[in-house]
Amino acid sequence: MYKHHSLEEKKEIIRLYESGACMVELMSRFHVRDHYLYILFGRYKKYGIEGLESYKGKHITAELKQSVILEYEKDVLPLWQICVEYDVSYTSVCRWVQQYKRGGYTELLRHCSRRRHRKDMGRPKKKEPQTELEKLQARVRWLEAENALLKKAKALMEEEESRLRGSGQKPSNH
């Protein structure tokens, strides 16, 4: 849902609403917007308590995005109701609407094809050098980088000492 409230907080919101609390009171007390509450109530009505739990992991297809935008274009349902009907987040629907307004279906569907696969994510694994030559080359690169770092640190310390001498202060011993 919009803000990460615990399941217990969501149950409390539902309990208070069913006991007669007004929307403004709930919005103020739980620091949420009205669309969050509408989505929460809609998911509770549609799925019961299970609807209050997170619903991440739904595979978003081009067809789903097109259906949501068609529903939006009809201007019959508010965005929060579209979110409940299609089981997608409010922020996703808002982003799709912005993409659609910016460039039509081509802009909206362009973002579908940019999906990364899990195996492509993260830092690539370092492979260990196989031959003795590769090991020595890796060691040389490491020592060159270490040497460059030490030279840079020495230059910075000399620059600081020079600056302090110029201002009349006594440099500290490192």
User: Residue 78 is part of which domain span?
Assistant: 58-112
17 domain-assigned: yes
Average pLDDT for 28-44: 87
Encode pLDDT of 113-140 as tens digits. Answer: 555 555 656 676 677 667 889 889 989 9
Place 84 in a pLDDT band, splitting at 50, 70 and 90: confident
E-strand stretches of 81-160: none
Residue 121 is classified by DSSP as: S
Backbone angles phi, psi at 65, to 5 degrees: -60, -45
Neighbour tally for 79: CB within 10 Å: 17
Q: What is the pLDDT of residue 2?
A: 42
136 domain-assigned: yes
Is this structure's pTM higher than 0.75? no
Q: What is the pLDDT of residue 1?
A: 41
Q: Residue 12 and residue 14: Cα distance in Å, rounded?
A: 5
104 domain-assigned: yes
Burial of 39 (0-12, 13-18, 19+ CB in 10 A): buried
Count: domains in the chain: 3
